Amino acid sequence: MKSIFTLLFIIALMQISFSQDVLFNETVNSDSVIETKGPNLKHYKHTYIGFGFAAMQSENKSSNIELGPSSNFIFGFRNKLKISNFYAVGYDVSYNLSWYRLSQTKDKLTPDAFQNDKERLTFQNLEFSVYNRFNFGKRGNIIGKFIDLGAYADWTFLCSHFIKNKIEGNVYKTKITHLKYYEPFNYGVLARFGINRYVIYANYRLSDLFKSSYNYAELPRLTLGVQIGLHK
């Protein structure tokens, strides 16, 4: 009987020792990792794409465009820093391509008075923007609903003038670069409303695209569109 009690005592000690080891390991693992990177955590970054349209007409008929074919494409990188549950700040770096289909009417003066079958001005930009984000609504570790307000600056590294005409059955296409009448830098303000990865955006350009010495009427300042975050 004594040997049985001795055996039970040894088994109990082994069980206590084993239980303590497991409890210690589980506690260390759960307490040693603090997540800081995620959609609704302190740091988050992701890429995105966007597509939009010129949402207003030019300043006067001499620079009128065809609404619809005048569009905008964006591919960018977005970084967000969470300050509180309701507020965050961040910045974007993006490639921004804008093209304007020029109306071919008797009033046309930009960039010249010649009327063509098709004609457009294309601006390729590198863009940097900063924003304030205001979060609202309940959410877990997801981006959730938000409103962004901010400002942007563009460097136009290439502006191109495309012309297409059909003459006596032959199609002639012309591309003109090294243009001197556009401003290489421009800036404006932005607003966005988003739900998780889907965003509606508005950009309003405050600066002029054309140099004042050329007296061209300004192209549309407002662009509206959608963006899709390339994340879960």
Question: Are 184 and 70 in the same domain?
Answer: yes
Report the domain count for the chain.
2
Give yes or no for a contact between 72 and 26, defined as CB atoms under 8 angstroms apart: no
Structural domain of residue 75, as residue ranges?
A: 35-229
Asked which of 13-22, 97-106, 180-189 is least confident by mean pLDDT, the reply is: 13-22
72: left (phi over 0), alpha (psi -120 to 50) or beta: beta
Question: Are 75 and 117 in the same domain?
Answer: yes
Give yes or no for a contact between 117 and 166, defined as CB atoms under 8 angstroms apart: yes
Question: Are 56 and 28 in the same domain?
Answer: no
What does each C-alpha distance from 180 to 54, 101, 111, 148 come to in angstroms?
Answer: 23, 19, 11, 35
Question: Are 22 and 81 in the same domain?
Answer: no
pLDDT at 169 over 70: yes
pLDDT for 208-219, tens place per residue? 999 999 999 999
Percentage of residues in the chain having pLDDT higher than 70: 85
Give yes or no for a contact between 139 and 40, defined as CB atoms under 8 angstroms apart: yes
First to last CA, the chain: 65
pLDDT for 106-162, tens place per residue? 999 999 999 999 999 999 999 999 999 999 887 777 888 999 999 999 999 999 999
Question: Are 76 and 158 in the same domain?
Answer: yes
Question: Are 126 and 196 in the same domain?
Answer: yes
Helices (H), the chain: 2-32
> Cα–Cα distance between 23 and 197 in angstroms, integer?
40
Question: Are 106 and 2 in the same domain?
Answer: no
What does each C-alpha distance from 148 to 89, 168, 184, 211, 214 come to in angstroms?
Answer: 9, 53, 26, 31, 35
> Cα–Cα distance between 93 and 128 in angstroms, integer?
5
What does each C-alpha distance from 1 to 5, 10, 14 come to in angstroms?
Answer: 6, 14, 20
Give the confidence band of 40 by pLDDT, cuts at 50, 70, 90.
confident
Q: What are phi and psi of 63, to 5 degrees?
A: -125, 20
Question: Are 50 and 156 in the same domain?
Answer: yes
Identify the CATH number of the domain in which residue 58 sits: 2.40.160
Residue whose C-alpha is closest to residue 186's, from 220, 160, 214, 147:
220
Question: Are 14 and 79 in the same domain?
Answer: no
Average pLDDT, the chain: 88
Question: Which positions ≥6 away from 124 have C-beta within 8 Å?
Answer: 95, 96, 97, 156, 157, 158, 159, 160
pLDDT for 63-117, tens place per residue? 999 999 999 999 999 999 999 989 999 999 999 999 999 999 999 999 999 999 9
Question: Are 29 and 80 in the same domain?
Answer: no
Q: Is the pTM of this model over 0.85?
A: no
Question: Are 183 and 208 in the same domain?
Answer: yes
Structure confidence at residue 38 (pLDDT)? 72
Question: Are 88 and 8 in the same domain?
Answer: no
The amino acid at residue 219 is L
